[in-house]
Amino acid sequence: MRISKGQTRKDLAEKLLGWTGCVWRPEKDGKIHIFVPKKDTSTAWVASTAYSLRDEVIPTTANNYVYICTTAGTSDSSEPTWATGIGDTIVDGSVVWTVAYDYEFEEMEALIGVEWR
C-alpha cells in the first residue's frame, strides 16, 4: 500500500487495523501495542428488536465496549447513548443494558511469538 498525498502513516495503519478488527493503544511501557480481538464483535445493536437476558451487543458505531442485557425487553426505535463505565446501565425501550467489559484482546506478540518493534 502507498501513502497518498495528505495521508499519514498513522492514517494508513488505522485503516489496515480497521480491516482486521485489531486495535492499537499505548501501554504503560510507553510503546504502542497491537491487539487482536478474541471475541466476535459482530453483534451490533438493532432497533425495535426483542432481546433476552444475557444477550450481548455492541453499538452500531463500535466504541470498544460490549453491553449485556440485564432486563429483557424490546429495544427503542432509535439507538441509545452508550455509557462506557463498567457496570453503568442504559435504558433502551424496555431493555436495560449494562456495560459489561472492554473488548477482549490478545496482544499480537503473544499470538505469533514475534516482537513488532
Residue-wise pLDDT for 15-50, tens only, equals 777 777 677 777 777 777 777 666 555 589 999 999
CA 62 – CA 51 distance, rounded (Å): 19
- ∠ CA 19-20-25 to the nearest 5 degrees? 105
d(CA 85, CA 40): 21
Q: What is the DSSP letter of 64?
A: S
89 pLDDT higher than 80 = yes
This prediction has a pTM of 0.57
